[in-house]
Amino acid sequence: MAPPGTPARLPVAILVCNQAPPVTDPATGAVVTPSLMTFDQCTTLFHETGHGLQHMLTTVDEGAVSGISGVEWDAVEQPSQFMEYWVRAYRDWLPLRAVKCHGVPLMYH
Ligand SMILES: [Zn+2]
């Protein structure tokens, strides 16, 4: 909590993730297999981003109850579950790449 008369400090969130590194050709150093996320890793990234957004977008100036602090656990998970939805929705939208509107794939609208 900011002392009276001083501006509130903006929250900061850091996401630290593990991911397999790219595979390179030892002779040339060229990337043979890029570092790609699995679907589960992508889902986890979006989940944790939901926690980060809830933390960073708080408008409460009381640190003990702002962002994800002091929030009931099921409510803490709500933004994260919402963000996970977008990962699953994107997977479900992939077949729409074949659908075109005015010659442009629907995925890019
Ligand atoms: Zn969570």
Q: Domain limits of the chain?
A: 45-54+74-109
Q: How far is the CA of 18 from the centre of ligand 1 (A)?
A: 16
Active site residue 84: no
**Rounded-to-10 torsion of CA 50, 51, 56, 58:** 100
What is the DSSP secondary structure assignment for residue 32, as one 8-state letter? Answer: E
pTM value is 0.70
Q: How far is the CA of 95 from the centre of ligand 1 (A)?
A: 29
> Token pair of 29, please?
């150093």
Neighbouring-strand partners of residue 101: 104
**pLDDT of residue 84 exceeding 60:** yes
Neighbouring-strand partners of residue 100: 105
- The pLDDT of residue 8: 73
Instruction: Look up tokens 């009931």; give the residue.
Output: 72
pLDDT band at 3 (very low <50, low <70, confident <90, very high): confident
- The pLDDT of residue 6: 81
Q: Which pLDDT tens digit goes with each residue over 37-59?
A: 888 888 899 999 999 999 888 88
> Token pair of 97, please?
């790449």
Q: Are 83 and 39 in contact (CB under 8 A)?
A: no
